[in-house]
Copies of this chain bind each other. A is one copy, B any other.
Amino acid sequence: MSVANPAREMPARASIEPIVRLTSPAMGEVNAMILAMAGSNVALIPEIAEHLISSGGKRLRPMLTIASALAHGYSGDAHVKLAASVEFMHTATLLHDDVVDESDLRRGKQSARMIWGNQASVLVGDFLLGQAFKTMVEVGSLEALRILSGASAVIAEGEVWQLSAAKHMTTSEADYLQVIEAKTAALFAAATEVGPVVAGAGPEACARMRDYGLHLGLAFQLLDDVLDYRGTAKALGKNVGDDFREGKITLPVILAHGRGTEAERAFWREAMEKGVNDDAALAEARRLLDRHGALEATIERARGFGNVAFSAAASLPPSEAREALIEVVAFCIERIN
């Protein structure tokens, strides 16, 4: 596939505004559909859904679905249902993740499980997932269904992996990239691939948008990993150091461990495998991450993936949607600053 503008570089501007503006009319419909899908005579369901919906996620994934469809000239309304389904798949995952990670905070608010309990979080997550499938079936595209149902299985597989094998300091960088490809990037990839699918674009166009989403998702997750050590609770919407306290081995930790002395490696094993992760340990972890430039190196990896996503978007035919998709890559990477 020829690159439309091979000399072009990642823009210095980095704003989510262009995609917000581009997708605004369709996102109005997506938001209405999300409320309808969360409707139920069982009061607890809209209550919990409303808590999550109103807690102000950026809705990046459904915006990507809408923008990807628009970038391929789509003018129908099936993308709205697919975008709402993608957001519900994501929301269901968040509900279950908070139960698995025993998280207290989500997007700066008490997590659903702290208010309504683990049991309700598990079951309402199941309901949202069921509604997501039901809604995407209504669209009637078997190809979109194949992509989204495939992502659903892969996401859960990645989560189980993280829960089990990936709790050991023997986890390699390659292992870790496979985990985040499954648990984060697969949904980004599905979200952007169904855009051209529903627009009736050919297999090359679909593969390009899959590449775009996959690499954007990888970059996005790596920057989340960095922010967990560098951000503030306010900006994060969760506690700084949550990954550390949960014994989640992320790329910064893998890099610092790999570059560390024997004593430092022993520290990481104690912290991640044996749960020695109090505030003093977190301070020491941050010192070691700094010492080995592990956060910077992680950001570099993220930039690499971001460049792949950028190239995929830059090769789209010129349109407002192309510009929005390009700038969102820069936004995801520059939010570190």
User: A residues touching B (Cβ–Cβ < 8 Å)?
Assistant: 40, 42-45, 96, 99-100, 118-120, 122-124, 126-127, 129-131, 133-134, 137-138, 140, 142, 145-146, 149-150, 152-157, 159-161, 163-165
14 contacts between A and B (CB under 8 A): A40-B160, A42-B157, A42-B161, A43-B164, A96-B126, A99-B119, A118-B118, A124-B160, A126-B129, A129-B156, A130-B153, A133-B149, A137-B146, A137-B149
Give complex CA distance A126, B161 in Å. Answer: 13
Q: Are B133 and A152 in contact (CB under 8 A)?
A: yes
Assess whether B127 is in contact with A129, with CB atoms less than 8 Å apart.
no
Q: Which residues of B contact A161 (CB under 8 A)?
A: 42
> B129 to A100, Cβ gap below 8 A?
no
Query: A157 with B40: in contact, given A133-B152, A137-B146, A149-B133 (CB under 8 Å)?
Result: yes
In the complex, are the beta carbons of A44 and B160 less than 8 A apart?
Answer: yes
The residues of B that contact A44 with a CB separation of less than 8 Å are: 160, 163-164
- Chain B contacts of A163 at CB under 8 A? 44, 119-120, 123
Tell me the minimal C-beta distance from A270 to chain B in angstroms: 22
> Taking A99-B119, A160-B123, A160-B124 as contacts, is the C-beta distance between A153 and B140 under 8 angstroms?
no
Residue pair A130, B145 in contact (C-beta under 8 Å): no
CB contacts (< 8 Å) of A160 on chain B: these are 40, 42, 44-45, 120, 123-124, 127
Interchain CA distance A312-B139 in the complex, whole Å: 32
CA distance A165 to B120 in the complex (A): 12
A157 to B126, CA, bound (A): 9
Question: Complex: how many Å from CA A238 to CA B50?
Answer: 36
A123, B156: Cβ atoms closer than 8 Å: yes
Task: Judge whether A156 and B133 touch: CB under 8 Å.
Answer: no
Bound CA span A45–B159, Å: 11
Q: Is the CB of B152 within 8 A of A129?
A: yes
Instruction: Give Cα A81 to B193, complex, Å.
Output: 26
Chain B residues lying within 8 Å of A145, measured Cβ to Cβ, are 133, 137, 145
Q: How far is the CA of A106 from the CA of B126 in the complex (A)?
A: 21
- What is the distance, in angstroms, from A187's C-beta to the closest C-beta of chain B? 12
Q: What B residues does A124 contact at CB under 8 A?
A: 156, 160
The 9 closest A-B pairs by CB, nearest first: A130-B153, A127-B156, A130-B152, A126-B156, A133-B149, A100-B119, A134-B149, A42-B161, A44-B164
Identify which of B118, B120, B134 contacts A153 (C-beta below 8 A).
B134
CA distance A152 to B137 in the complex (A): 12
A40 to B119, CA, bound (A): 27
In the complex, which of the residues B120, B153, B155 contacts A164, with contact meaning CB atoms closer than 8 Å? B120
CB distance from A197 to the nearest CB of B (A): 13
Do residues B137 and A156 form an inter-chain contact, with CB atoms below 8 A? no
Further pairs besides A122-B122, A130-B157, A137-B142: 13, Cβ < 8 Å = A44-B160, A45-B157, A96-B122, A100-B122, A100-B123, A124-B156, A124-B160, A127-B153, A130-B153, A130-B154, A134-B146, A137-B145, A137-B146
- Contact check, B123 vs A96: say whether CB atoms are below 8 A apart: yes
